[in-house]
Amino acid sequence: MDPIIHKIRSSLLPVSIDNGEDAVKRAGQRRAAVLMPLVKRDDWQVILTQRPETMPSHPGQISFPGGKIESGESAQEAALRETKEEVGLKASDIELIGRLPSFNAVSEYRVTPFVGIIQSLASIVPDPTEVADVFEIPLSFLMNPDNHVARDVFFDGQEHRLYDMPYDEPGGVHRNLWGMTAMMIYRVYQRSFTHEA
């Protein structure tokens, strides 16, 4: 197995959830799931999406494919369904290798993030009503602590340290990863690579 993927896989929780960790934790909360897609080009890349500016919530924000868990659906099923709906990747194109702990998002969602390997030849076809752009950032850039910009915020009655990850593409396009998406990437870094720092 690829050593980078082995390192990430060994730091993640099992794909299946048997302890109710993804259940809502407070009144009015809803369940959601996202997928952090990894694909091997020359090097490992993280696939990200940018939401259209016309979206009613989080316009223009960079995010992973994902969304609300429907009634009768598992978190895993929701992550795969939303990924197909948003960027056209079928479940057969994706090997889920684990997940991060579920967490309470600012937006009243209980979010469960999965990590998956995408077949390198899989066709990505974004739905323009949900996705304005699909792009890739090298995993090595995102796992490098030199590229994590600390930012302190007050939420839920306490101070939290978050990390933004601004990235300039070789073609000159500037991307700023922040909020929930950057936090999930940072959690993978913490679990898989901090002992190398």
Closest by CA position to 12, among listed 100, 79, 112, 76: 100
Place 196 in a pLDDT band, splitting at 50, 70 and 90: low
For tokens 């009655």, the residue is: 157
Query: Domains of the chain, with CATH numbers?
Result: 3-14+28-196 (3.90.79.10)
Residues in CB range of 109: below 8 A, 6 or more apart? 29, 30, 31, 32, 68
Q: State how beta strands 158-168 and 174-177 pair.
A: antiparallel
Inform me whether the pLDDT recorded for 197 exceeds 60. no
With the C-alpha atoms ordered 187, 164, 88, 54, is the resulting torsion angle positive or negative? positive
Inform me whether the pLDDT recorded for 95 exceeds 80. yes
Q: What is the pLDDT of residues 18-56, one digit of tens each?
A: 999 999 988 889 999 999 999 999 999 999 999 887 665
pTM score: 0.93
Q: How far is CA 71 from CA 32, 66, 74, 132, in A?
A: 11, 15, 9, 28
Beta bridge partners of 138: 45
